[in-house]
Structure 1
């Protein structure tokens, strides 16, 4: 299949006519050819978004009408769910059942923000000045540059597109250059739903070109990025060029705390899901497992036995439990961390290599891996591997495990497993993370804000805070009885 970019209401090739092949990480087959944009393409798209916003037609469209269009996008996603899910699986390698669940969540995100679009008409506040009115209103921030990652291409795009459009902004979205297909498809659905020309623009290309232009441009009012911490720092520096608003979600090294009184079987099962779901390529993956000393050995033994049974394969095969990593380059990164773990003195309990099955040799597969005897000073504990690698640490007290869990530069998410409700709340309150799950791992939904503490990012997506990220707050004061001041005689 051959696709194009979308700028100012038209489907276009890149200005240079350069293209990129999109491959299936399961077998490296070419599944699509797309334009390879650069800074000049980004500039054209930014100009279109700037003009569309400054003309005011979309921002001044009644909020309920904007909401109807955003809701229409949700309906179209539901209509085309099967096509979108297959594209996502081909693009990322994840299982089809996961992609189908993603599409349900994506449609719900658009429905949620469609419903919020007309729910904030402003706030009247008391004025200390007689005969005056004072109100606070929220207005769209303007032109929004949106850069999304390869692991959840459309889900992360939805978290940005839906609130931005509902609030009245114009957007230029840049999906990952290696997984753009579902974002292209949803751009088609936005056009079908009636989003006006110039309001939603799609530019394909690398972060070093298109992403850099979005981050640096004086005509972009907000940059929203989900991805790696080093890229996030560069975007933050570039955004200082015009002091634009920034919203960054930069991953995590998420601790999963298991106390001895937890439901053993459930905690084991969820620990596997926490780290090996989507081959560990999840920003909130529970890649750090901290187990109370008295159950540690039994817990690890159960984990290892279950891990050996995980079935790798084609995401389109219903029997597959985990697909490949996204690329050869990313697998090489994971392999380097595994070797580093060995060098640091961690014990390899299972995995640690590529699979041997013939049918998996053309894909970017890596065996689910567990390290034990890990300590907090190891790089495999402190740094985000972003693959199917679990590290296990021991703890003996509540105070110790809280200290260990907080001992990273990240603060995205974490979980606490215990049947003691008071202990669960006590520990959760001390964890420096944007999301803490108690006796669960991974659930998220449109109504609840998502984001991190510390270097996991700035700002929030989803929930009411996710809409507020795309607005500016304005105070409007009206003097109903203006009089001369006579300050200057």
Structure 2
């Protein structure tokens, strides 16, 4: 694999070969830590996309007939190759989107684990025997692949999210066209290199980079793409879903979150502060499951706030490649400006800025898209920063009197992705579990993250109600065929 990822031009991977886009144009990926060039990817056209879809369609005819064990063995090989190149892939990720190297290595390791998990799925059951009313007959169901799957992925988890879409799609017999975010296109190419080296048949795995309006929308519109799996913003996700639905294609949307973490009066405050820091500020708050609303009962509000601010003051903001960096930059200038907009909105609407709200002033960081960890106090439910996803290192503190009020405030947004509570009371835990509107519910743990073997997805505007990861992936990436054999 190439070691000079910061200067290389990366090609599309179509029908088993690396190809330049027909437009002969490229898109630049910028290191948000210092604005240096991380690499170049292709500005692909519909012509390039059509070629990739056609290759995937042709390859699926034979790929879908292979045994699950055969398909799984290739995923095992891809996992081994990714593991061998873990340091390089992780460093590429850090250079491209700013995540600390420690986090990038953790995410890449997770990608390895996901590949091995779904490799094992190739040996698990794909149907059930169902009693027939005719005792001499056999009736059973079998899960069968959909065909060509289009995967549209974001920049914030440029290894884990593509893999948790591509791996199950492949092991269940589909072929794939991956369209990654441009800001993570170099990292995506590194991941696809692992699949290419693993020996997947030509056309089974394809990579096409380019703009969302051309390639992403093109996947949603393409008559030969049987299903589209998307992670990204609500605005784009709704458009993808509507387009796919209009032609009868299957679609899966994982979108935004405005995730609450409730701190009850009986909470362990040391653990709660650590969870808010990790869940709200790791990855610079650029997670759909990040803790953006911190809802605290009045009895511990003052002490919790003091401990939180003291901990935040110790955070080292800097280049993700530096060993002592705790939080890196925003992933792009666009995201940096978005975070600045929401901070200004919070001030204008009357929230009290306790800390942050500005960029580090050191000379070495001035070229990057850095934002200091930011905390607002006196935030009410009607404020923009309490309702809209910021995707940055901004925490909104909200004071409540009772658990009932806390849950009401937590549910009073359009999203329902993840939620957490810190309490020692089993009754409060059970009430929270039953009444919170979220697809991922945590007790005495941060809102961010999910176990790879467990279903993941949200309620309300956070998703299309389908689930990713674990065995739940089988529900989306296959369809059921019911068979009746007369004896």
Q: Is the 8 A contact 2:245 2:251 kept in 1?
A: no
- Is 1:214 matched up with 2:219? yes
Deviation at 1:285, TM superposition (A): 0.2
Deviation at 1:192, TM superposition (A): 1.2
**Paired residue secondary structure (1:255):** strand
In the alignment, what sits opposite 2:25?
Answer: 18
**Alignment equivalent of 2:13, drawn from 6, 11, 15:** 6
CA distance in 2, matches of 1:225, 1:474: 25
CA distance in 1, matches of 2:126, 2:266: 49
In the alignment, what sits opposite 2:332?
Answer: 327
CA distance in 2, matches of 1:142, 1:477: 24
In the alignment, what sits opposite 2:166?
Answer: 161
Q: Is the 8 A contact 1:15 1:41 kept in 2?
A: yes
Deviation at 1:445, TM superposition (A): 2.0
CA distance in 2, matches of 1:138, 1:75: 28
**Paired residue secondary structure (1:20):** strand
Q: Is the 8 A contact 2:56 2:205 kept in 1?
A: yes
**Alignment equivalent of 2:294, drawn from 269, 279, 289:** 289
In the alignment, what sits opposite 1:486?
Answer: none
In the alignment, what sits opposite 1:256?
Answer: 261
In the alignment, what sits opposite 1:487?
Answer: none
**Paired residue secondary structure (1:463):** coil
**Paired residue secondary structure (2:182):** coil
In the alignment, what sits opposite 1:61?
Answer: 66
In the alignment, what sits opposite 2:5?
Answer: none
**Alignment equivalent of 1:451, drawn from 454, 457, 470:** 457
- Is 1:376 matched up with 2:378? no
In the alignment, what sits opposite 1:44?
Answer: 51
- Is 1:33 matched up with 2:37? no
**Which segments of 5 or more consecutive residues in structure 1 lack a partner in the other structure?**
481-489
User: Deviation digits for residues 399-436 of structure 1, max 9, x if unmatched?
Assistant: 11111111111111011100112321221221111111
**Alignment equivalent of 1:135, drawn from 140, 149, 174:** 140
Q: Is the 8 A contact 2:151 2:165 kept in 1?
A: yes
**Alignment equivalent of 2:354, drawn from 329, 346, 349:** 349
User: Deviation digits for residues 380-407 of structure 1, max 9, x if unmatched?
Assistant: 1111000000001111112111111111
CA distance in 2, matches of 1:151, 1:85: 13
In the alignment, what sits opposite 2:79?
Answer: 74
**Paired residue secondary structure (2:223):** coil
In the alignment, what sits opposite 2:109?
Answer: 104
Q: TM-score scaled by structure 2?
A: 0.96
**Which segments of 5 or more consecutive residues in structure 2 lack a partner in the other structure?**
1-7
Q: Is the 8 A contact 2:68 2:121 kept in 1?
A: no
Deviation at 1:443, TM superposition (A): 4.1
Of the two, which has the highest radius of gyration? 1
- Is 1:475 matched up with 2:479? no
CA distance in 2, matches of 1:99, 1:373: 34
In the alignment, what sits opposite 1:460?
Answer: 467
In the alignment, what sits opposite 1:410?
Answer: 415
Deviation at 1:353, TM superposition (A): 1.3
In the alignment, what sits opposite 2:343?
Answer: 338
CA distance in 1, matches of 2:322, 2:200: 36
CA distance in 2, matches of 1:112, 1:182: 22
Q: TM-score scaled by structure 1?
A: 0.96
Runs of 4+ in 1 over 6 A off after TM superposition: none
CA distance in 1, matches of 2:478, 2:486: 26
**Paired residue secondary structure (1:370):** strand
Deviation at 1:170, TM superposition (A): 0.4
Please list, as runs of the form range in 1=range in 2, the aligned pairs for 1:112-131 lying within 5 A after superposition: 112-131=117-136
Deviation at 1:86, TM superposition (A): 0.6
CA distance in 2, matches of 1:233, 1:446: 25
The two structures, once aligned, show a CA RMSD in angstroms of 1.1
User: Deviation digits for residues 270-314 of structure 1, max 9, x if unmatched?
Assistant: 111111101100110000100001111121122122212211111
Q: Is the 8 A contact 2:227 2:250 kept in 1?
A: yes
CA distance in 2, matches of 1:271, 1:177: 30
Deviation at 1:467, TM superposition (A): 2.7
**Paired residue secondary structure (1:272):** helix
In the alignment, what sits opposite 1:485?
Answer: none
CA distance in 1, matches of 2:138, 2:57: 33
Q: Is the 8 A contact 1:415 1:437 kept in 2?
A: yes
